[in-house]
Amino acid sequence: MRPDRTSRDDEWDDRDRVRGFAAFPASRRRPGRFARTWWGNAWITAMEDTALDQRPLKQGRKNAHSGQVGPITVSPGRIAATVHDHEEDTSYRTAVFLDELSDVEWERFLDRVAARAGHLAALLDRDMPHDLVAAAEDAGVRLLPGIADLEPECDCPDWELPCRHAAALCYQASWLLDADPFVLLLMRGRGERELLDELQHRNAARGEAQLVPAPVDLATAETAVPQGTPAGEAYARPVPPLPEPLTTPLTPATPLAVPSAQGVDPAGLAVLVVDAALRAREILSTVESGDAGPPELVDLPEPLDLWQDTVRWAATHRDPHVLARLREASERGAELPRAARAWEYGGRAGLDTLEVVWSPPKEAVARVRAAVGRLAEDPEDSTDSPDSTDSADGADPASSAGKAGVAGTEAGAGVRAWRNRWTLTGRGLQLRYGRDGRWYPYREESGDWWPAGPPKRDPATALADLDAE
C-alpha cells in the first residue's frame, strides 16, 4: 500500500523537496570529460546539444571552474543560482527548468525500482546503473533529459540559449549529479526521503504477499542438530593483510616481437605497441602521483586532434624514419620540429602555450611583475583586450618578424609585455604563461621563439633558469 501522499505533502515539501548546496570553489580543469559519471555527462550532453553557439558553452565552462556560480538551490522542476559575470562585474539570477514526472510515470518508475533489490541498493550507494535507466525507459519513463528538455532562464542581456551563465550553472549541476543521483530525481519531482518511504511500503507489501510459512515437524524440531560453522567462530578468524599495490615499472617492457604476415608491417605494428605502452605508463604515473586527485576520480585524457597527435609522435619517437614520414604526411611539416620540442617540455599544455595567444588574469601579471621588472599600470593595454577570446599564434610584437606589425606594452626597461608573453628585449629571452598555470621559458633562435626548457610554477624561477643558461 502506498503512503498517503496527501497527508504527508507538507512534511515532504518542507524537509525533502528543496535542497541547497554550497558554492563550488575555484578548481583546476581536469583532463577528460567535464563530469565524472555517465549520467552527469548525459546531463551535459542534453545541454550542449541544444546550444547553437559554442562560445557561451566555452565561457560557461570557465565560469564553472573559476567559482563564479553561487550556492545552488534544487527543487522539483528547477535548479537556480546567482552567477557572477566578472566581465561586467555584476551577478545575474539564473535558473534551468526540467519537466517533472507525472504521478502515473512515478508509479511505473517506482514499480521498476522495487522489482529489483539491486536498483535500490545502487541508488542508496549514490549510483545510477544503466539497467535502471533502461528499465525506466521500457516503462515509458525518461529520467535523463534529452535535447531541448533543459530550459534555461537568466536575467542577463545575452540572447544565446543557454547563455554563459546558464551554461555555467548546468556544468556545475553535473557535479551535483555525480555525487548524488537523487538530485536528478528531485528535479523530476520527488525528494529522497519521499521516494525511500514509498519504496519501503512497496517492498513490505511484496514481502507479505510472498511470505509462505514452512511446515514445522514438532517431533524433530527440539532434537535437531545445528549444521555449519558457528558465527562466532567464522568471524573470529584473522583476516590476512592486503598485498602492497603494484608500482609503475622503472624500465619499459620488452619490445613486442611481431612475426611477418601478409598485409602486416611488423615494424609499424611494433611502433604502435610501444606507443600504446608509453601512453598507458603516462596515465598510470599521473594516477600514482596523486596530482590529478584520487584514482577513482581520474578521467582518461581527452582525445588528441590530428595535429596534436602528430606532434606527440614526433616528440616521443626518435626513429628518423618515423620523423621523416610525419613531416612528409603533415601539412605543417615545417612547424613540426619546434612543436615537438614544445611537447617534449610541456606535453599538450606546452604545445598550447606555443601556439595560442591569450590574455592571462591580473593575478598572473602581478606575479611576473616582480620577476621581469616594473609593468605598466594597465598591463593588458595591448592590441587585444584582456577579455578577448583565445587566438592562434600570430605575429609576436617582440619577435624580429613581428616588430613592425603590432605594438605591445612596455613593461619596464628592456621588457616588453604582450598578452601572455613577456620578452627581455635585446637578450633573446621570453617567458610565456600557459593556460595550465605554469611559466614556459623561450629563447630566440634564427628569428623564431623556441621552447628553452621545462615549465615552472614560479615565474622568477623560470626566468632565473633561462638567464643562467
* pLDDT digits 0-9 by tens, 16-67: 788 999 998 888 777 677 888 999 999 999 999 988 888 999 999 999 998 8
Residue predicted with more confidence, 300 or 188: 188
Specify the pLDDT at position 253: 62
CB 41 within 8 A of CB 34: yes
Query: Per residue in 117-148, pLDDT tens?
Result: 788 888 888 998 898 899 889 889 999 999 88
What percentage of the chain exceeds 70 in pLDDT?
76
Q: Name the one residue in this structure whose C-alpha cell is 512497496.
A: 202
CB 150 within 8 A of CB 163: no
Q: How many other C-beta atoms lie within 10 A of the C-beta of residue 220?
A: 8
Percent helix / strand / coil, the chain, rounded to 5? 45, 15, 40
Q: Which of 182-186, 255-259, 267-271, 363-367 has the lowest mean pLDDT?
A: 255-259
Q: Is the pLDDT of residue 280 over 90?
A: no
Specify the pLDDT at position 394: 54
Specify the pLDDT at position 368: 87
Q: How confident is the model at residue 160 (pLDDT cuts 50, 70, 90)?
A: confident
Whole-structure pTM over 0.75, yes or no?
no
Q: Which residues pair with 443 in a beta bridge?
A: 429, 450
Q: Which three cell numbers stand for residue 10?
A: 507538507
The whole-angstrom separation of Cα 450 and Cα 429 is: 10
Q: How confident is the model at residue 408 (pLDDT cuts 50, 70, 90)?
A: very low
Residue predicted with more confidence, 191 or 213: 191
Specify the pLDDT at position 283: 73
Task: Kindly tell me the burial class for residue 244, based on how many C-beta atoms sit within 10 Å of its own C-beta (0-12, 13-18, 19 or more).
Answer: exposed
Torsion angle defined by CA atoms of residues 390, 393, 396 and 399, in that order, rounded to the nearest 10 degrees: 160
Query: Per residue in 296-345, pLDDT tens?
Result: 555 566 788 999 999 998 898 877 888 888 889 889 989 999 999 999 99
The whole-angstrom separation of Cα 456 and Cα 187 is: 45
Q: How many CA atoms lie within 13 A of 68 on its CB side?
A: 28
